[in-house]
Amino acid sequence: MKQDGQKRLLAFTKRGTHIHSDFSYKPGDWLVFGSETKGLPESALKDCSGEALGGGTIRIPMVETYVRCLNLSVSVGVALYEAARQLNYEQLQYQPDLPEEAQGLFPAEDIYG
């Protein structure tokens, strides 16, 4: 609640009503994940769907074969990079103010390009 600007809580759940790549992410969104074994508690789902901060429930589609669920870290990575892509990787462009002696330690240009 102390964060400046608009914010939404977005619950990632296998029963989500929006597909992660069809959803429109905004700066200030909080992506909320549950444990691999139990998912999100009902109170968290309610907070993510409520009017105050709720942005809704989101799912990552999967082929229903032998895969029961995605690993939590994979789900977080898929969701985070989709949100970052839609926001033009804005949060990855951050350049910290470093002391002069540390300036050359972190290259600012694409060293692989």
CA 37, CA 31: separation in Å to the nearest integer? 18
What pTM was estimated for this model as a whole?
0.72
pLDDT at site 34: 92
Say whether pLDDT at 43 is over 50: yes
CB within 8 A of 25, min separation 6: which ones? 10, 82, 83, 86, 87
CA-to-CA separations, 104 to 18, 53, 94, 101, 110, in angstroms, rounded? 44, 42, 16, 7, 14
pLDDT at site 57: 94
Domain 8-89 has what CATH class? alpha beta
Query: Phi and psi at residue 93, in whole multiples of 5°?
Result: -90, 0
Every domain of the chain and the residues it spans? 8-89
CA 96, CA 33: separation in Å to the nearest integer? 28
Percent of the chain with pLDDT strictly greater than 70: 79
pLDDT at site 52: 81
pLDDT at site 99: 80
